[in-house]
Structure 1
């Protein structure tokens, strides 16, 4: 039976409540309201909300950075270290080399892109799993990051860039709006471009993709390159929003980078993405961070909670996949 466009929209609306994104949205809304009530409305104050969304920008972008490599069945353990390295490089260019922000920012993005392309090329050339390759490059990048300025902190760089990090538009931080714009661009890339659909095809069934004339090696390199570029974006947001950077920047981003897409419904096996789910999951992880700060919870317990949720999401995704395979 052929469905008209109206019928497809109607059916999609009827089944919207069954989607993981809808469920996650309900959980996020409930958690936000519960936390607002528990803090006596403090979470809803203008200053607190602005800080909440400002520090949500990096988790969103870093989650998308991990999501694009998960789309082709790969992992990128170097996203956090690469974000920190790009941030340190941008600060070095502005302070030590004397370049203005309009030069340092594109340089940081280019550095992330090149590092990502190197990751992808190493995976393709060595035929070693991306998990191992990026584990090695993560260690190398951490050493390079420390070598930029040692344990010292870079601060006092471009006032214009720092002003942008503090700026708000219609009550929302500018850096958060940048993160949302990046999310929209990533969604359009996978849904509207040939290259994006080829990445999903390579992740879903490499054999079928190869029979269709799609280069799986090219898809892997592009995915890692895009992941590195997004890590560069996260670095620029970090530099502008924080006002100072040091060699520890990025060390705490690895777990959130996996938590956002996996909790958001992205499969580890590749072939699918969920930009909305990744953004909502980053929001949920940020809620947990706020809860930890508000109630003085040991950060180790927060890591335990997030890790357990990620493990549960992986198990649920595996069960869902097996059910689908049996029903087809």
Structure 2
């Protein structure tokens, strides 16, 4: 009898697992990786290629998480890419021009990201202007600061220790990727195990219901934007470590991936739903697309078109599912 009652439960759990977005992304990631390995005649499986693949996956993962925490409350952060580049430039400038020790410069870059993110949140809360507009303005200001203050020059040879960290591996995996994985685990713990994380999801799911439950929506907005900026600062440090040189163009190409990873990963644009694993898996798949583009000399614009089309398709599919759900909800009259 016990075995009989247990079997349907296991089968039900298995069906539910197969139907999840994360399972679909795992399948796509495995299929894509195997296909690319075959297409490159095994070159993808060499130690150097795998090392480079995961090394340059670190920043897209963290950038996707930086966007995800703002999407959790139903808002956007358009400044996340340029903020990453600016924090990287500030960190390099502090090490080269000011002469600060590497740990101090690293902490300063992360703190700058958090402060800018907090500033975004304060503007959204006190002006009641849509976060899209606020972060668009912030993005434009930061772009001006990058060129106006630092010019088109390049900072390099800023910290042998930091660059060593960017190139070294542990058990075949680059340290920068392992650092990004640790960040992902911490973000997951924040949403799954902390009151503040649950409040962010409550505010994103239904601000009115959250307020009735005693959740401070303004506080959730401040925390989400500050955390987004902090993660952009972390991405800046990883950029410094893996690249060895930074200039005013760093971060310009990160805006689309920052949205693509969480949206493809199953994060709801309307807020209230996050998926750390889905975001990281989507970043992995996008990285596969980038490697394919480099291996076969595909025009970069075609890659952007494909990624953008996929993001649009996911958004439209989500909107369609929501409309169907509302129409079929019990008690609804036509």
TM-score if structure 2 supplies the norm length?
Answer: 0.94
C-alpha distance in structure 1 between counterparts of 2:238 and 2:10, whole Å: 37
- The residue that corresponds to 2:218 in the other structure is 217
C-alpha distance in structure 1 between counterparts of 2:207 and 2:9, whole Å: 29
C-alpha distance in structure 1 between counterparts of 2:181 and 2:89, whole Å: 24
C-alpha distance in structure 2 between counterparts of 1:8 and 1:203, whole Å: 32
Question: Is 1:175 aligned with 2:176?
Answer: yes
SS in 1 for 2:98: coil
C-alpha distance in structure 2 between counterparts of 1:266 and 1:58, whole Å: 19
Q: CA deviation at 1:92?
A: 0.3
C-alpha distance in structure 2 between counterparts of 1:323 and 1:44, whole Å: 44
- The residue that corresponds to 1:3 in the other structure is none
- The residue that corresponds to 1:299 in the other structure is 300
- The residue that corresponds to 2:267 in the other structure is 266
Q: CA deviation at 1:131?
A: 0.5
Q: Can you give the 5+ residue segments of structure 1 that lack an aligned partner in the other structure?
A: 1-5
1:197-238 CA distances to partner (integer Å, 9 max, x unpaired)? Answer: 000000000000000111111111110000000000000000
1:28-72 CA distances to partner (integer Å, 9 max, x unpaired)? Answer: 110111111111111111100000000000000000000000000
Q: Does the aligned pair in 2 maintain the 1:123–1:129 contact within 8 Å? A: yes
- The residue that corresponds to 2:198 in the other structure is 197
- The residue that corresponds to 2:4 in the other structure is none
- The residue that corresponds to 1:280 in the other structure is 281
1:175-213 CA distances to partner (integer Å, 9 max, x unpaired)? Answer: 000111111110110011000000000000000000011
Q: CA deviation at 1:25?
A: 1.0
Q: Can you give the 5+ residue segments of structure 2 that lack an aligned partner in the other structure?
A: 1-6, 330-334
Question: Is 1:55 aligned with 2:56?
Answer: yes
Distance change >3 Å, CA 165–CA 8, structure 1 → 2 = farther
1:81-139 CA distances to partner (integer Å, 9 max, x unpaired)? Answer: 10001000000000000001110000001000000000010011111110011000000
Distance change >3 Å, CA 153–CA 326, structure 1 → 2 = same
C-alpha distance in structure 2 between counterparts of 1:197 and 1:235, whole Å: 27
- The residue that corresponds to 2:77 in the other structure is 76
Q: CA deviation at 1:11?
A: 4.3
C-alpha distance in structure 2 between counterparts of 1:60 and 1:308, whole Å: 20
Larger radius of gyration: 2
Question: Is 1:134 aligned with 2:135?
Answer: yes
| Structure 1 range deviating more: 36-45 or 146-155 | 146-155
Q: CA deviation at 1:9?
A: 7.8
- The residue that corresponds to 1:256 in the other structure is 257
- The residue that corresponds to 1:112 in the other structure is 113
C-alpha distance in structure 1 between counterparts of 2:127 and 2:286, whole Å: 35
Number of equivalent positions? 325
TM-score if structure 1 supplies the norm length?
Answer: 0.96
SS in 2 for 1:96: helix
Distance change >3 Å, CA 9–CA 153, structure 1 → 2 = farther
